Structure 1
Amino acid sequence: MKKLLLSAATLAVMATGALAQDVVRLGTEGAYPPYNYINESNELVGFEIDLGNALCERAGLTCEWVQNDWDSIIPNLVGGNYDAIMAGMNATPARAEVIMFSQPYKLPDPSAYMALAGTEGSVMEEGVIAAQSNTMQAAMVSDTSATLIEFPTADETIAAVRNGTADAVLADRDFLRTYVDESNGELEFLATVPSPGAGVSIGLRQSDSELQATFDAAITAMKEDGSLNALLVEWFGDEIPLFE
């Protein structure tokens, strides 16, 4: 009986529209610069933090951030621990079977292989490739002849390359660029490859169509007045693809 009561309570949470709540909770990882991360002052910062705050202000929503490990970020959205995901998540067909997405707030980010300087490109097919678990890059490596090694966090994939556990890492290029730029030549890109998905978007429960429409309207407004493009340039640099 206790199990049945808990299941009913979970369903009730999922059925309750997020807009009916006093606070809309935004789930993020806090470990994926420059999208979202903890700075030296132990503050949650990043492109998505600035963007999420701006979207909530435009939409007249009171929002709060909830940190969650990447591995369980979708299950905890569905389970009602927060109302939306902003965590560098590409809107892929596989994820759309479980949750729904807003329109993209960042154009599709290609993936890239990164390795220690001087690494042969052949490792992309013959070597050990690190990827964060439950990412599209992990699935991409699985489709090659390389050996996949998965880690819970993106930082651990970088460490695996540096300590020799992996020959290279496959991840979002815009995430890896910071490490390449700040490595003083220690790290370099081996190749850039297309990624699946419609672009980085807000993930929502499939029952929250009203909240989806609210965020879509705010994203559209920021595209139209140029403020979204300004945030993209601020956090990713002048070479980032912009919305027209």
Structure 2
Amino acid sequence: MKTTIAAIAMLASLIVIAQARAQDQKSLTFATEGAFPPWNAVDASGQAVGFDIDVGKALCKRAKFDCTFVTQAWDGIIPALTVGKFDAIMAGMSITDKRKQVIAFSEPYALTSNYFVASKASRLPELPENTRIDLSSASDSDKAFLQTLKNNLQGKVIGVQGSTNAEAFVREYLGDAVEVRTYDTQDNLNIDLSVGRIDAGLADYSVWKAFLDTDDHATVAIYGPRISGGLFGPGVGIGVRKDSAHLAEELNTALRSIKADGTLEEISYRWFGADLVSD
């Protein structure tokens, strides 16, 4: 009888421990686009890969989450999050005021630097190198340079991935001077740019880098200033539902940890060959 009672007590203890461990190991599903290399892509086996995925895995290891990545088309990724199709978004998504009206964000895990890349066949007027436009500053020099950029692109066809900040920028600042052509993926934009179907495109430098590292880059070149701030936001963050503030804070805690020990920087160099994560 004593042996039976002891066995029952031990079994109960094991159940309690297992339940506690299960609670500690929370399940979390991230959505990514899977068509935005090197931020995110899908490999030959159908698995999501890229900077976003490696950062997500590092965060999950630090926060003791059991994480899964799924792919979701970009134009439906925020609506799918809000209806509970998954728990969070890691898809190279910039933190902006417009998006914050619908969802919440973690702290930035990468910074953004947006550039035009133009077809050399377009023969655009030259612009000074290593210049910047900060849309948040509203300085006279930035306004003047932005006007020069607009004048130089007058009448050109500009490609952007649809439903991105790049599209928002071109329509707001250049829309009455250029023809805007939207694409479902950056890869399709790159194809048209490389063969001269469009004159230029706008995207984050990290996205252009993957394209410029290919043989197709011989027909194109970076054009004009680095553009940041304003509608491009403070950086790239993890999107969560507004009622998931606790999740955002848990992710922030893990994010600060992988920043502090250099893990985040190491992942950045792995995918971009540069530090895109340090302030």
> Normalization by structure 1: what TM-score?
0.85
Tell me how far apart the structure 1 counterparts of residues 53 and 276 of structure 2 sit (CA, whole Å). Answer: 20
Cα offset, 1:138, TM superposition:
0.4
Q: Is the 8 A contact 1:113 1:124 kept in 2?
A: no
* Aligned match of 1:149: 181
Q: Is the 8 A contact 1:180 1:189 kept in 2?
A: no
Q: 2:208 aligns with which of 176, 201, 217?
A: 176
Q: 2:27 aligns with which of 23, 31, 42?
A: 23
* Aligned match of 1:190: 223
Tell me how far apart the structure 1 counterparts of residues 73 and 223 of structure 2 sit (CA, whole Å). Answer: 28
In structure 2, runs of 5+ residues without a counterpart are 1-22, 126-151
Cα offset, 1:24, TM superposition:
1.0
Tell me how far apart the structure 2 counterparts of residues 180 and 152 of structure 1 sit (CA, whole Å). Answer: 20
* Aligned match of 1:6: none
Question: Could you say what secondary structure the match of 2:158 adopts?
Answer: strand
Aligned counterparts, 1:45-194, within 5 A = 45-107=49-111, 109-121=112-124, 124-143=153-172, 144=174, 145-183=177-215, 185-194=218-227
Q: Is the 8 A contact 2:209 2:272 kept in 1?
A: no
Question: Could you say what secondary structure the match of 1:200 adopts?
Answer: coil
Tell me how far apart the structure 1 counterparts of residues 153 and 59 of structure 2 sit (CA, whole Å). Answer: 39
Greater helix content: 2
* Aligned match of 2:129: none
- The one-letter code of the counterpart of 2:114 is S
Percent sequence identity over aligned pairs: 34
In structure 1, runs of 5+ residues without a counterpart are 1-18
Q: How many residues align?
A: 224
Q: Go from structure 1 to structure 2 and tell me whether the alpha carbon gap of 1:102 and 1:70 turns closer, same or farther (over 3 Å shift).
A: same
2:241 aligned with 1:205: yes
> Normalization by structure 2: what TM-score?
0.75
Q: Is the 8 A contact 1:179 1:187 kept in 2?
A: no
* Aligned match of 1:12: none
Query: Which stretches of structure 1, 4 residues or more, deviate above 2 A after TM superposition?
Result: 19-23, 39-43, 115-126, 162-165, 240-244
